[in-house]
Amino acid sequence: MEALPTNEGDPGSTSSSTSGAEAAAEPHTVTIYDVARAAGVGIATVSRALRGSAPVADATRAKILRVVDELGFRPSHLGTSLAEKRHAAAGIVFPDLSGPYYAEVVMGHEEAASRLGRSVLIQGTNGRTDPIAAARDLAGRVDGLVVLGRTVPDALVEEILAQGVPVVLLARPSVGNADSLRVDNLTAARALGEHLGTHHFAQVRFLGSPDSSHDVAERWAGIFQGLARSATRLDLTPCNLDEESGTRVARAVLAGPDRPDALVCANDEIALGAIVAAEEAGLTVGVDIAITGWDDIMAARHARPGLTTVRQPMRLLGAHAAEVLDERISRTRTTPRHEILPAELVVRSSCGSHPQGDRR
Amino acid sequence: MEALPTNEGDPGSTSSSTSGAEAAAEPHTVTIYDVARAAGVGIATVSRALRGSAPVADATRAKILRVVDELGFRPSHLGTSLAEKRHAAAGIVFPDLSGPYYAEVVMGHEEAASRLGRSVLIQGTNGRTDPIAAARDLAGRVDGLVVLGRTVPDALVEEILAQGVPVVLLARPSVGNADSLRVDNLTAARALGEHLGTHHFAQVRFLGSPDSSHDVAERWAGIFQGLARSATRLDLTPCNLDEESGTRVARAVLAGPDRPDALVCANDEIALGAIVAAEEAGLTVGVDIAITGWDDIMAARHARPGLTTVRQPMRLLGAHAAEVLDERISRTRTTPRHEILPAELVVRSSCGSHPQGDRR
DNA sequence: CTGAAAGCGCTAACAT
DNA sequence: ATGTTAGCGCTTTCAG
């Protein structure tokens, strides 16, 4: 297996031990006082020259800039922030096992927030002993917070809002006067349900736990509605949102009584896991059994058969959250905004239908 | 005194265990002074009671805690940090098109850093107009920085180190006395090369740009070495590290003269893109042509045929960086540490070999 | 146009 | 054990 030689006995000793002398003691960080003194002006003038908050004589400014450059002065963010009473940063909290979905949303957010001149702090709530404390702490270090899913309890959201920190809720019902962004799961789920109904499946099994997340609840409801008119039977088997759970649960479902001819999974990871289980059981996915996912993560389109799924605009969701948050932080808007982004049904061959956008 | 419930109706009320007086429009954020006054003590005592930095009489502490609760006091991170001269945060910079690889590393880092009591700031350098400025800015907001790839120029790394901010370099040659963490690309690449050589491929084509990244350079070198003893011919075609480029470049390569019977791609995304191109060309991957990737991202194992690749411990890389950085920040260690983590060759069927760890 | 000085909120001596 | 008082580094009146 992995007979890969780690590395030689040689512990990276290599390294340039540098000249040891210079790298060591940096006694005094350069402050605005140092610059002022060296330039023969007051600190206020330095501040003004650097941020252009007030007119400064050209000569003075030139001198200051030169000194700044010579001394390598970098204004302390801490000092600035304390004085300005703002962090120039936004935070984003995301839950549990962070799969591709959360990662995409976070990255999308970072890109947009960065463009808006705000740094972004991320905080997962995985193994955190106290996720509540972690979220509360984060709230104290940012000018605005994006909360993904049900990570943070409503009470805490209220508390954070009361502290004056704007909150944007993603994929979760609104709380207080927080903004919210969601994807139209219901419509897409209904479309998926109808699609399956049209193709005359006899027994559809939903893999997922509606009470574990609002998103999943909507998907389940939509599927239910979409199948309402057909003669299809619809059942539910609870399942966590990870691949391993998908495989395990699907394995049980396929081995049990009333074997369904379609597995509608709450997300792509479950579906990909289910595909493994189906193949194990000797079934040909897309022929003997239909399997669908949700999200359209990268692996969904590379799986064979291609996974029929519902595409969520993950990066956009994160990016849009940054914009919505920005309006609140900059007080451009003070009333809550609630938006619902559309999701798109992507039919590939895992559900046996005529593939569309699939390459096989 | 400051009870002026002038604001419009129905603020979330519920909230804290407060006496309800200050719930509405709080013009004045609760500071340590407010607590001290309300508790009839000095601010130092409040500080001591809250952080346990010195003994405080039980009665006093109790009173303070009660007041803190009533007023909903939360120490300002800004004030604390400025006084302590530390941010209690680490930063991580990652480059260009952030695919699954970077996301995994970042998430792994977040989890470990959080566990070490440090928040994490992320900074991509995608569309940033000025990535250098972005990185420099980040450096000013953290106690330590992780730099992924060649995002940040050496000179800037030196500058940041000189500011007294420890830096851990990931997948990149060390600079100054920064720590570095890398994956043993060379050994794994050699193993892959040998594997291919053993299977008697006639023409191997490497898809990737060795001069674009140190990692890619090592992979190319390793493949070269691994194939040295066989009669296999090895060529190189430059390619960016994304899927679309993979498809495009592979398309050209497969249509051109000297069609290779094996494509060794610099990462999984290129490989997945190449698979698309191969199938378009009517080739059966794993039979007519071998295709291999690098990283072992999620899609690699769900692709059909399963993608032969080299698994990088992505999350571990990020997590370990947090630990290495922590030693520097806490000054537990002052000499640079350079580590090389092992990578693992994962043979699946995309290279035509007997699958291992593949489900088909 | 520029300087002195008063904060921003908190920690940590230094005195009691 | 606890209060007083300096900072931490910067922004911003308030006076020239």
Q: Nearest CA to the C1' of C3 belongs to which residue?
A: A42
CATH ID of A185-312+345-351, from 3.40.50.720, 1.20.1630.10, 3.40.50.300, 3.40.50.2300: 3.40.50.2300
The fold adopted by the segment(s) A89-183+314-341 is Rossmann fold (3.40.50)
Q: Residue A11: what pLDDT?
A: 36
The rounded distance, in Å, linking the Cα atoms of A73 and A65 is 10
B122, B191, B339: residue with CB nearest A122: B122
Interchain CB distance below 8 Å, A114 and B124: yes
* E-assigned strand segments in A253-303: 262-265, 290-292
Q: Is the CB of B44 under 7 A from strand D?
A: yes
Angle, helices A32-39 vs A43-51, to 10°: value is 100
* E strand or H helix at B218: helix B214-227
Any idea where the domains of chain A sit in the sequence? 29-83, 89-183+314-341, 185-312+345-351
Tell me the nt nearest to A84, Cα to C1'. Answer: D11
Q: Which residues of chain A have a pLDDT value below 50? A: 1-25, 355-360
Q: Which of strand D's nucleotides are less than 7 A from any protein C-beta?
A: 1-5, 7-13
* E strand or H helix at A124: strand A119-124
User: Coil, strand, or helix at residue B156?
Assistant: helix
Q: Is the CB of A71 under 7 A from strand D?
A: no
Same fold, B89-183+314-341 and B185-312+345-351: yes
Q: Please state whether beta strands B119-124 and A119-124 pair in parallel, antiparallel, or not at all (unpaired).
A: antiparallel
The rounded distance, in Å, linking the Cα atoms of A90 and A224 is 38
Residues in chain A within 8 Å Cβ distance of B106 = 103, 122
User: Coil, strand, or helix at residue A357?
Assistant: coil
Interchain CB distance below 8 Å, B298 and A303: no
The fold adopted by the segment(s) B29-83 is 434 Repressor (Amino-terminal Domain) (1.10.260)
pLDDT digits (tens, 9 = 90+) for A111-146: 999 999 999 999 999 778 899 999 999 999 999 999
Q: Which of strand C's nucleotides are less than 7 A from any protein C-beta?
A: 1-5, 7-13
A314/chain B closest Cα distance in angstroms: 13
Tell me the nt nearest to B57, Cα to C1'. Answer: D1
pLDDT in tens, chain B (360 residues): 333 333 333 333 333 333 333 344 445 789 999 999 999 999 999 999 999 999 999 999 999 999 999 999 999 999 999 999 999 999 999 986 778 999 999 999 999 999 999 999 999 997 788 999 999 999 999 999 999 988 899 999 999 999 999 999 999 999 999 999 999 999 999 999 999 998 888 999 999 999 988 899 999 999 999 999 988 999 999 999 999 999 999 999 999 998 999 999 999 999 999 999 999 999 999 999 999 999 999 999 999 899 999 999 999 999 999 999 999 999 999 999 999 999 999 999 999 875 444 444
Helices (H) and strands (E) in chain A, counts: 13, 12
Q: Residue B150: what pLDDT?
A: 86
Contact between residue B186 and residue B176 where contact means Cβ atoms under 8 Å apart: no
Interchain CB distance below 8 Å, B140 and A302: no
